[in-house]
Amino acid sequence: MAFLDHPSKQIRVKPTRPVQGLYARGGKRLFDLSVCLLLLPAVGTTVFLLWLVAKACAPSGFFAHPRVGRNGILFRCWKIRTMGENADLALHDIFEEQPERRLEWEITHKLSNDPRILPFGSLLRRTSLDELPQIWNVIRGDMALVGPRPVTRSELSLFGDAQKDYLAIRPGVTGLWQVKARRAPCYIRRVKLDRRYAQNVTLAGDLRILLWTLPVLFRPTGQ
């Protein structure tokens, strides 16, 4: 039974787990830990350098946002800070001044030419380097290297019947959406890709996605 925190009550969601093989049931976690520990020295050094840059432009170099994980458990998803402080309040001000941008946000949960982004933030977002601290989430067991993109509580409602597939596995640092459709901000397609992955978790599939992720890093497409 999955539980999602709520100010007044807990929301219960019962995920129906897709039938998976041995890799999905245990091998995937071992694979994630092995790769993370192998990459930790290089990734840790890079994260530290990026943190120094972010800290020079904002009071804090890291940013953590609550996301929904496996079985509906909320966790703090870590990133290098790419926006100024109080970005949520600034978003409200943007909608007040430019009401037409609210529709863009409701459709994609992103804003083109977002004025809240720090000078270096655009580059980090386009290359996904701001997500490197999520290696800590993987080590902790909040996330996997490959899986659905972690969502907020409000975004989970957009998954409809696919919620059970999302909740059945750990969200990933990278995934099918990131490598196949990141340039096309269509949430329906994103949900379909995440659902497809959740229903067929294999070592070969994870290796392919990790290999496909490398060109994406060197061919910036994010926002």
Whose tokens are 């294999």? That residue is 202
Whether residue 181 lies inside any domain: the answer is yes
Q: Which residues contact 122 (CB under 8 A, 6 or more apart)?
A: 82
Which residues partner with 174 through β-bridges? 146
Whether residue 203 lies inside any domain: the answer is yes
Does position 5 have pLDDT exceeding 50, yes or no? Answer: no
How far lies 193's CA from each of 17, 28, 58, in Å?
Answer: 17, 19, 35
pLDDT-based confidence at residue 222 (cuts at 50, 70, 90): low
Whether residue 166 lies inside any domain: the answer is yes
Whether residue 17 lies inside any domain: the answer is no
Q: How far is CA 190 from the centre of its chain?
A: 12
HSE value, Cβ hemisphere, 13 Å, CA-based, for 39: 17
Burial 129-156 (b: 16+ CB within 10 A, else e): bbbbbbbbbbeeebbbbbbbbbbeeebb
Q: What is the pLDDT of residues 39-51, one digit of tens each?
A: 999 999 999 999 9
pLDDT winner (highest mean) among 85-94, 164-173, 184-193:
164-173
Q: Which residue range is the domain that position 183 belongs to?
A: 26-82+117-218
Q: Which two tokens stand for residue 56?
A: 């020079």
Whether residue 99 lies inside any domain: the answer is no
* Alpha-carbon gap, residue 60 to 81, rounded angstroms: 7
Residue 19 identity: V
Whether residue 101 lies inside any domain: the answer is no
Note the pTM of the prediction, 2 decimals.
0.79
Predicted local confidence at residue 123, as pLDDT: 81
Whether residue 194 lies inside any domain: the answer is yes
Whose tokens are 């997500």? That residue is 131
Structural domains counted in the chain: 1
What rounded mean pLDDT belongs to the chain? 82
Enclosing H/E stretch for 179: helix 176-180
Q: How far is CA 198 from the centre of its chain?
A: 15
Residue 34 in contact with residue 43, Cβ under 8 Å?
A: no
**Largest Cα span, the chain:** 53
Predicted local confidence at residue 19, as pLDDT: 57
Whether residue 106 lies inside any domain: the answer is no
Percent of all residues in the chain with a pLDDT value above 70, rounded to a whole number: 75
